[in-house]
Chains A and B, each alone.
Chain A
Amino acid sequence: MKALGSRFAFYVGFVVGTCTLYVLLRQVRFTRNVGSVEPEAHEKSLLEMIEEENKNWKKERSALFNLNHPHHTGEDGTLADALYKSVRILCWVMTGPNNLEKKARHVKATWSRHCNIVVFISSVDDPDFPTVGLNTKEGRDQLYWKTIRAFHYVMEKHGDEADWFLKADDDTYVVVDNLRWILANHSPEDPLYFGRRFKPYVKQGYMSGGAGYVLSKEALRRFVEGFRTKVCTHTSSVEDLALGQCMEKIGVVAGDSRDTLERETFHPFVPESHLTGTFPKTFWYWNYCYYPIVQGPQCCSDLAVSFHYVDASHMYLLEYYTYHLRAFGYKYRYQPPKPSVIQDLNAPAPDKVEIGDIEEKLGAEEQEGEKKSHEHNEKLKQISA
């Protein structure tokens, strides 16, 4: 009996020993693998980040000057490049010291790379980021002060280096190429400003702050002049409304930024809200929009310019959707007409652009689009007259 008992104990011990060692070895191997991967990846990425940035930007006078208009492998960017040269946009981004890492950094890594010049406006000077501090404090009540000072600053430092001046928040995503498409039909010497038009309080309407708005050079001149002559003052801290009231006083026209199918381009919310959301009837939005609100797919132009309340990961998502992800060979339904600036330049068409017979099929839609754009220009001429 005893012999059997000890033999049995031996076998049990053998099994227990094998299993314990097996588990231990697995654990060791696992932690070794995990451990070796992580620290390496982190160090590499910091260096890579700095390298990437130095390739794309020239830091000068606390602004970022775009060195290379981002291009994609395999794409023909001639049209975009032509617009980049002829429609120079300075983007200034409203941010603060607490949001540099959370928000502004992602703006810097994504859409702002498509501006000709970028300035990050804060309450504190930061030569590394870089941000410009304009002697203000932080907080919602400082928004109009920041805006006034920001526009004065860009006029003084960069007035000759750009044609249009865009204001955006650090949670606004802007498709700068599409903004150029809209602006290319207008002259920066005309007193104009564009954005998501709201109707209350101001007769000609005013532009939503969060969705971003853009001033022509003449509009900016008049804005700065208006403060010098005290025609405009710091009337309230509601930045977009106060600015809109000033614009009306100084004769700057609130433009129609919709595309040739009358679809909005500047958006005060994220795409999901506009495309799939239904705003409750009591929501302020219904009473604010200057043009009829459309919910569902026709809410938004294919050539959307901006979205608001975009958080960090959403910035990258939108960058991926706009500039990267595509359907091979897909012929877009909406064929936007070429802006007048390009037609004047008479840029030679690259070889494979005119796929003639296919264009004929959608020719009808294009003609309609051109008709609308013509009407569009006519309307503007009437307003500014």
Chain B
Amino acid sequence: MMSEGSSFMKGMVLGGIFCLVMSFFENFNSGTHSEVHEHLHHHLKPLSKDELEKLSESQMSDLPLQVRVYCLIMVTPKLLVHWATANDTWSKHCDKSVFYTSESSKALEAVDLQEQDEWARLRKAIKHAYENAGDLRWFFVARPTTFAIIENLKYLVLDKDPSQPFYIGHTEKSGELDYVEYDSGIVLSYEAMRRLIEMFKDEDRCPERGHALWKTSEEKQLATCLKYSGVFAENGEDAQGKGLFNKKSVSSLISDSMGQNPADVVEACCSDMAITFAGMSPSQMQVLMYGVYRLRPYGHDFHDSLTFLPPKDSDND
């Protein structure tokens, strides 16, 4: 009995020492590691005002045609109210917006993919969008619980070539994988879509139905497939480094800012050119629609070098 007890104690002590030693090594390594990772973590910013002004006449006239956006909005009947709100608000500013649903609803129009599995549904939607893109070269994937300001999305990708692979949004890390968060919207260029669809054929590296015991979220599966085809996630930010894709609501971000930056709540909170917010109620989204596209102080003008006209048959923008 005694010998067992003392063995146990000896084991514990050795185990503790072992752990301490390992953690020292880890600190040492991760100190250098994180620096390396910072550089690999891509940041994508829009053109500055000066750079915009330097563009030639012909370049300027081409831009509005190049930056046209196809919106894929992934809905389910459970999200009917948000679905209706997205339909009535921000999706009108996409050049083409298509709702993809798991099952059809009598109330609203959508492409019925008849698929309950979210990843499989996303794959089908992506294929459908690519085939029906026409001459649209940018793709935005979101759920109806996200609110997107498409003009600001266009501003972000204005000078980016869609025949290059782009995968943009709010990036997070999961182990070695950099992925774009679904809640704050995912931007894909035409080339990224093409490579992704090619990769869909590879059942080993990009399976349609996961073989693992646990399910990985669609956002991570998407990131994995894209990574295998050489497309890496990039974080969309403004010139000051503020994130443009938000997975929180405006009021939530304001509350956070009131706690952390009481001296300068609004400046510190959110970007002027924010692209997405998430987790807002349908009526909050209507207020946001009014706040972005209508409410403004008279006499303050921004002479943007590009103009986007309001959509037809709409009265809340």
What residues make up the interface of A, taking CB atoms closer than 8 Å to B? Answer: 2, 5-22, 25, 41, 45-46, 48-49, 51-52, 72, 74-83, 109-110, 114, 175-178, 180-181, 271-272, 275-277, 296-298, 300, 302-304, 312-314, 316-334, 336, 350-353, 355, 358, 361
Contact = CB atoms under 8 A, between A and B. Distances in A.
Which interface residue of A7, A41, A276, A334 has the most chain B CB atoms within 10 A?
A: A276
A355 B307 contact: yes
Contact of B310 (A25, A330, A350): A330
Nearest to B156: A328
B35 interface: no
Contact of A327 (B6, B149, B316): B149
Nearest to B308: A329
B122 to A, nearest CB: 27
A81 B298 CA distance: 10
B131 interface: no
B15 A13 contact: yes
A337 B221 CA distance: 53
A271 B6 CA distance: 72
B254 A313 contact: yes
Contact of B10 (A10, A271, A272, A327): A10
B287 A83 contact: no
B7 A9 contact: yes
B14 A17 contact: yes
Interface in B150-189: 151-152, 154-155
Interface stretch (B17-25, B104-112, B196-204, B224-232): B17-25
Given A7-B7, A312-B258, A316-B266, A321 B291 contact: yes
The 5 A-B pairs with the shortest beta carbon distances in the complex, nearest first, are: A13-B11, A17-B15, A80-B299, A321-B291, A79-B299
Given A297-B315, A312-B258, A77 B12 contact: no
Contact of A331 (B5, B9, B265, B309): B309
B95 interface: no
Contacts of B4: 2, 5-6, 8-9
A333 B287 contact: no
A14 B15 contact: yes
B297 interface: yes
A87 to B, nearest CB: 10
B16 interface: yes
Nearest to B299: A80
B219 interface: no
27 contacts: A7-B7, A10-B7, A13-B10, A14-B14, A15-B11, A17-B16, A17-B19, A21-B19, A45-B260, A49-B262, A79-B300, A175-B297, A271-B287, A275-B290, A297-B316, A313-B255, A313-B258, A316-B269, A320-B254, A321-B290, A321-B292, A322-B296, A327-B149, A328-B151, A329-B155, A329-B305, A352-B303
A272 B283 contact: yes
Contacts of A361: 309
Given A13-B10, A181-B298, A322 B303 contact: no
A55 to B, nearest CB: 11
B302 A320 contact: no
Contact of B12 (A14, A49, A298, A302): A14
B216 interface: no
Interface of B: 3-20, 23, 49, 93, 149, 151-152, 154-155, 250-251, 254-255, 257-258, 260-266, 269-270, 272-274, 282-284, 286-288, 290-310, 315-317
Nearest to B265: A316
A178 B112 CA distance: 46
Nearest to B3: A6
A319 B266 contact: yes
B157 to A, nearest CB: 11
B54 to A, nearest CB: 15
A73 to B, nearest CB: 9
Nearest to B150: A327
B34 to A, nearest CB: 14
Given A10-B10, A45-B261, A319-B266, A2 B3 contact: yes
B299 A300 contact: no
Given A13-B10, A303-B298, A316-B269, 20 more contacts: A9-B5, A12-B8, A13-B15, A14-B14, A20-B16, A49-B262, A180-B299, A276-B282, A277-B283, A313-B255, A316-B254, A318-B291, A321-B295, A322-B296, A325-B274, A326-B272, A327-B93, A332-B294, A350-B303, A355-B307
A80 B298 contact: yes
Given A109-B265, A316-B258, A328-B152, A13 B7 contact: yes
Contacts of B274: 325
Contact of B8 (A10, A77, A109, A296): A10
A177 B284 contact: no
